[in-house]
A and B are shown apart, each in its own frame.
Chain A
Amino acid sequence: MAKIIVVTSGKGGVGKTTTSAAIGTGLALKGHKTVIVDFDIGLRNLDLIMGCERRVVYDFVNVINGEANLKQALIKDKRLDNLFILPASQTRDKDALHKEGVERVLNELSDEFDFIICDSPAGIESGAMMALYFADEAIVVTNPEVSSVRDSDRILGMLSSKSRRAEQGLPGIKEHLLLTRYNPERVQKGEMLSVDDVNDILAIKLLGVIPESQAVLNASNSGQPVILDADSDAGQAYLDTVSRLVGETVPFRFLNVEKKGLLKRIFGG
């Protein structure tokens, strides 16, 4: 039985797909057989972030409609043997995903894999609801910014009322907070909400803090999940995050401003 983890946020552009790619790859690096499923029907992007956009033949909706089987649609990662991607389709039909179909595909994946990462679309429409419905755990990706925090709280409400676990009276979805695009300099100047501020408001367990980093754009430009850039701050922060996700205790890094020399402090820079 696979563990199903949804990566969600409500708000768009906060780093859901970057996070899905990084965490899926990180779990595979740790030896777990992992599949990342793109639920963003009509706006497929996980393939680009993973660097397999030219290898998409069949997609999630084809499998649901019986036009292809899972083996045909799954794309095997070129870097890691135990990592697979199920791409979203580019159809404009918003109702292409339905509970019965999604459940059937997830059940089939569940027999094969240790982890299923569901990359949710933004918003609270049916695609986002499908992505979270079957989840065992949720990673709520949040930027330290008012609209993102508010939308995350909204999604937390959905997780606890609109999921399969909620409807069937099972133990609730395990919720994790992942703070992304964190800028310690701006936090120190009082220009950005701190980790503690966001934690006070959302009150769920903190899984990781990813610093605002040039490495993220470089990674997406080249189709390499940022976690594979192990020299970068964001890559290391994602590695820590994955370790915590599988139950290891890892101290938090990149929360404070690096100490600057005296000259830099006086003249700035």
Chain B
Amino acid sequence: MSLLDYFRSSKKNTASTAKERLQIIVAHERRRRTSPDYLPQLERDILEVIRKYVDIADDQVSVTLEKSSDELSVLELNVTFPEDKRG
């Protein structure tokens, strides 16, 4: 890097942005890979039901199925409500 470049380089470090984005999407896709095929449709259906009552965005519902042992799987449903839509 030349001296001129040094004074110019106030840009954000894009490599760290890339790493953060990848960590999130890869973790998400790995979870999906190991979950049953019906899960995305289940997630959409749940979203539709909640939308009858509260206006929420697509990414405010997450459904995961985790296998905790050979005989037991836990379906976890996470819904984030917007601040002003509560109650």
A residues neighboring B (CB under 8 Å): 145-146, 149-150, 153-154, 157, 161, 187-194, 197, 200-201, 265-269
Residue numbers in B under 8 Å from A150 (CB-CB)? 22, 25-26, 29
Residue numbers in B under 8 Å from A149 (CB-CB)? 22, 26
Please classify how large the interface on chain B is, using the bins under 10, 10 to 19, 20 to 34, 35 or more.
20 to 34
Contact B14 A191 (CB under 8 A): yes
Total inter-chain residue pairs, C-beta < 8 Å: 57
- CB-contact partner of B15 in A157, A190, A269, under 8 A: A190
Residue of A nearest to B19 (CB): A197
Q: In the docked arrangement, what's the CA distance between A153 and B25, Å?
A: 10
**With contact pairs A197-B19, A200-B19, A201-B19 given, residues A190 and B13 touching in the complex (Cβ less than 8 Å):** yes
Residue numbers in B under 8 Å from A197 (CB-CB)? 15, 18-19
Contact B26 A193 (CB under 8 A): no
Residue of B nearest to A154 (CB): B29
8 more A-B residue pairs beyond the given contacts A146-B18, A150-B22, A190-B15, with a C-beta to C-beta distance below 8 A: A149-B26, A150-B26, A154-B29, A157-B33, A190-B16, A200-B23, A201-B26, A265-B2
Residue B9 CB within 8 A of the other chain: yes
Q: In the docked arrangement, what's the CA distance between A146 and B22, Å?
A: 7
Residue numbers in A under 8 Å from B25 (CB-CB)? 150
A and B contact pairs by CB, cutoff 8 A, 5 listed: A150-B22, A188-B1, A191-B14, A200-B19, A200-B23
Residue numbers in A under 8 Å from B18 (CB-CB)? 145-146, 193, 197
The digit string for B1-34, where 1 denotes a CB below 8 A from any CB of A, is 1111100010001111011011101100110010
Main secondary structure on A side of the interface with B = helix
Residue numbers in A under 8 Å from B5 (CB-CB)? 268
Q: In the docked arrangement, what's the CA distance between A266 and B4, Å?
A: 8
Contact B30 A157 (CB under 8 A): yes
Q: In the docked arrangement, what's the CA distance between A268 and B9, Å?
A: 14
Top 7 A-B pairs ranked by shortest CB distance?
A268-B2, A190-B13, A197-B19, A190-B15, A157-B33, A153-B26, A266-B3
Residue of B nearest to A202 (CB): B26
Contact B4 A268 (CB under 8 A): yes
Q: In the docked arrangement, what's the CA distance between A189 and B12, Å?
A: 10
Q: In the docked arrangement, what's the CA distance between A157 and B34, Å?
A: 9
A257 to chain B, nearest CB (A): 9
**With contact pairs A190-B14, A192-B15 given, residues A266 and B2 touching in the complex (Cβ less than 8 Å):** yes
Q: In the docked arrangement, what's the CA distance between A269 and B25, Å?
A: 37
**With contact pairs A150-B26, A154-B29, A157-B30 given, residues A267 and B2 touching in the complex (Cβ less than 8 Å):** yes
Residue numbers in A under 8 Å from B4 (CB-CB)? 268
Q: In the docked arrangement, what's the CA distance between A145 and B21, Å?
A: 11
Q: In the docked arrangement, what's the CA distance between A189 and B16, Å?
A: 11
Residue of A nearest to B5 (CB): A268
A129 to chain B, nearest CB (A): 16
Residue numbers in B under 8 Å from A188 (CB-CB)? 1
B85 to chain A, nearest CB (A): 34
Q: In the docked arrangement, what's the CA distance between A197 and B4, Å?
A: 28
